[in-house]
């Protein structure tokens, strides 16, 4: 699932739960729940295969994805720090995944990647990401719209 979607869900969780010690772990857990739903991702194959000299385009896409999420949150929320912290915690798992690519010998990051892959494959029953694009995109648009509605 793209980072914008994760950020909006994490922001929404943080906006609804006043205790940050509960809100932020739940924002983090929302990542795995969202990844279990049918979705498509943009390709980060060069990062996945550690072809670092070809990854600039992926990092630009990731940066723009994060910026888009932050802009939507700032437009549709009360802009309290806890909301942005929720958005941040909701994308930490993808950050750990990036870490596992940079440091493949890190056992904790590799273990996390197994959990992350498992959650991603729940919504992708044959594990080959052949979900029709219309469902993969519309599921995320729906989640973003619901999050924006709940953020207000």
Instruction: Tell me the C-alpha to C-alpha distance, in Å, between residue 88 and each of 14, 23, 25, 93.
Output: 10, 12, 11, 10
Q: How far is the CB of 31 from Zn ion (least distance, A)?
A: 6
Instruction: Tell me the C-alpha to C-alpha distance, in Å, between residue 132 and each of 41, 45, 76, 129.
Output: 12, 20, 30, 9
For Zn ion, give the closer residue by CB, 118 or 149.
Answer: 118
Distance between CA atoms of 23 and 9, rounded to whole angstroms? 11
Distance between CA atoms of 126 and 15, rounded to whole angstroms? 35
Taking CB under 5 A as the criterion, the residue among 28, 35, 40, 96 binding Zn ion is 35
Q: How far is the CB of 94 from Zn ion (least distance, A)?
A: 5
For Zn ion, give the closer residue by CB, 35 or 124.
Answer: 35
For Zn ion, give the closer residue by CB, 19 or 65.
Answer: 65
Q: How far is the CB of 35 from Zn ion (least distance, A)?
A: 4
**Of residues 55-114, which lie at the interface with Zn ion (CB under 5 A)?**
94
């Amino acid at each position: 699932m793209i980072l914008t979607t994760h950020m909006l869900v994490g922001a929404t969780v943080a906006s609804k739960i006043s205790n940050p010690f509960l809100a932020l772990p739940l924002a983090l857990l929302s990542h795995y729940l969202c990844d279990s739903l049918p979705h498509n991702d943009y390709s980060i194959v060069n990062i996945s295969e550690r072809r670092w000299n070809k990854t600039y385009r992926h990092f630009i896409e990731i940066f723009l994805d994060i910026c888009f999420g932050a802009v939507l949150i700032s437009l549709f929320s009360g802009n309290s720090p806890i909301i942005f912290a929720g958005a941040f915690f909701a994308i930490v798992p993808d950050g750990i995944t990036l870490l596992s690519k940079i440091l493949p010998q890190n056992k904790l990051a590799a273990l996390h990647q197994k959990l992350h892959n498992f959650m991603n494959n729940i919504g992708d029953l044959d594990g080959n990401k052949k979900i029709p694009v219309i469902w993969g995109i519309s599921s995320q648009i729906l989640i973003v719209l619901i999050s924006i509605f709940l953020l207000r």
